[in-house]
Amino acid sequence: MKLMRNCREITALVLQAEDRELGVGERLAVRLHMLVCKACPVFGRQLQLMRRASQRWRQYSEVGTEDPGQRR
Amino acid sequence: MTDIAAQLNGLRPQLLKFARLQLRNASWAEDAVSETLLAALERPQAFAAQSQLKTWLIGILKHKLIDQIRRNSRELSSTPEDGLDLDEELFQADGHWRDAPKDWGDPEHCLQQLDFMRVLDLCVERLPGQQGRLFMMREWLELDSEEICKELAISPTNLWVMLHRARLRLRECLQQHWFDEQGRGGDAATKREQA
């Protein structure tokens, strides 16, 4: 298990965490990287925003009263 | 037109929009929506009891879309565009970011805006076929990875690769069509016309 990984590898793991549970070694590698990297925590927050946006989008699909397609 | 017919007719374009986003095939989307409306008409009592008609119809539509995905699963294949990966553009050879991700600020600020939802519509629509389908199955139909792999007979690794690409593309699109615009102070409406 590789402990120190680069931004590209960490980004891949953080993305996969949206769709599967990471192993403990993977979680540790992400946590360690986040301590020393400035860029990846920002990416993590973007992904968090996207997750909440999806949730909001689902609600909007059910109760939105207008069709944005018609106004485009 | 009767009241029921008028209501269904009014909601049909919105149902069709999501059916198309999910299936990426106009005729299957039409079928799924017709099946949804038929199912609603077959249950007039349930229909009358709905205070949230659209919520109820979207719920039915989601089931019909899963039926369509099952029925057509063999034809739901990737296109060359689905193979495009943003990784090379985002990262240097040594795995560092080329450009550091930008701070998107307070999530609530954008999530409360209808215009942001429209940009999201646009960005999901722009995903390549299979990426879009899988992203919708995961985020809109809320299926878990295992179910998606089973329905489409794809491997988990293949699914994760496609979702990885889809999410990175979506992020790029949101950056470009929302956050960059906000930073520039342009309002969402004029931006969409330019898009």
Return the domain boundaries, chain A: 7-62
- Residue B170: predicted pLDDT: 97
Residue labelled with tokens 């659209």 = B54
- Please indicate if any CB of chain A lies within 8 Å of the CB of B139: yes
pLDDT tens track for A32-63: 999 999 999 999 999 999 999 999 999 988 88
Q: Lowest-confidence range among A27-36, A62-71, B24-33, B46-55? A: A62-71
CA A26 to chain B, closest CA, distance in angstroms equals 16
CB A15 to CB B117 under 8 A?
Answer: no
- Residue A1: predicted pLDDT: 63
- Asked if B154 and B76 count as a contact pair (C-beta separation under 8 A), the reply is no
Average of pLDDT values for B84-110? 93
What's the mean per-residue pLDDT of chain B? 90
Class of domain B3-74: mainly alpha
Average of pLDDT values for B161-179? 96
CA distance readout (Å), B82 to B43, B126, B132:
40, 11, 9
Give kind and range of the element (H or E) at residue B96: none
- Asked if A40 and A7 count as a contact pair (C-beta separation under 8 A), the reply is yes
Least CB-CB distance to A69: which of B17, B52, B168? B17
Nearest partner of B39 among B24, B18, B61, B21, judged by Cα: B61
CB A6 to CB B58 under 8 A?
Answer: no
- Residue B191: predicted pLDDT: 47
CATH 1.10.1740: which residues of chain B? 3-74
CB B140 to CB A58 under 8 A?
Answer: yes
CA distance B195 to A72: 10
Please say if the pLDDT value at position A69 is more than 50.
no
CA distance B160 to A15: 9
Write the single-letter amino acid at B158. N
- Residue A63: predicted pLDDT: 82
**Sign, CA torsion B102/B108/B111/B114:** negative
Q: Lowest-confidence range among A18-22, B97-101, B110-114, B161-165? A: B110-114
Average of pLDDT values for B69-91? 89
At the topology level, CATH places domain B79-194 in Arc Repressor Mutant, subunit A (1.10.10)
Nearest partner of A14 among A1, A2, A33, judged by Cα: A33
Q: Is A63 exposed, middle or buried (0-12, 13-18, 19+ CB in 10 A)?
A: exposed
Q: How confident is the model at residue B1 (pLDDT cuts 50, 70, 90)?
A: low
Q: How confident is the model at residue A68 (pLDDT cuts 50, 70, 90)?
A: very low
Least CB-CB distance to A61: which of B58, B102, B156? B58
CB A68 to CB B18 under 8 A?
Answer: no
- Asked if A49 and B104 count as a contact pair (C-beta separation under 8 A), the reply is yes
Rg (CA), chain B: 19
- Please indicate if any CB of chain B lies within 8 Å of the CB of A49: yes
- Residue B186: predicted pLDDT: 52
CA distance A61 to B174: 18
Q: How confident is the model at residue B84 (pLDDT cuts 50, 70, 90)?
A: confident
For residues B1 and B24, the model is more confident at B24
- Please indicate if any CB of chain B lies within 8 Å of the CB of A37: no
> Count of CB atoms within 10 A of residue B96's CB?
13
φ, ψ dihedrals at B97, nearest 5°? -60, 140
CATH 1.10.10.10: which residues of chain B? 79-194
Average of pLDDT values for B173-184? 91
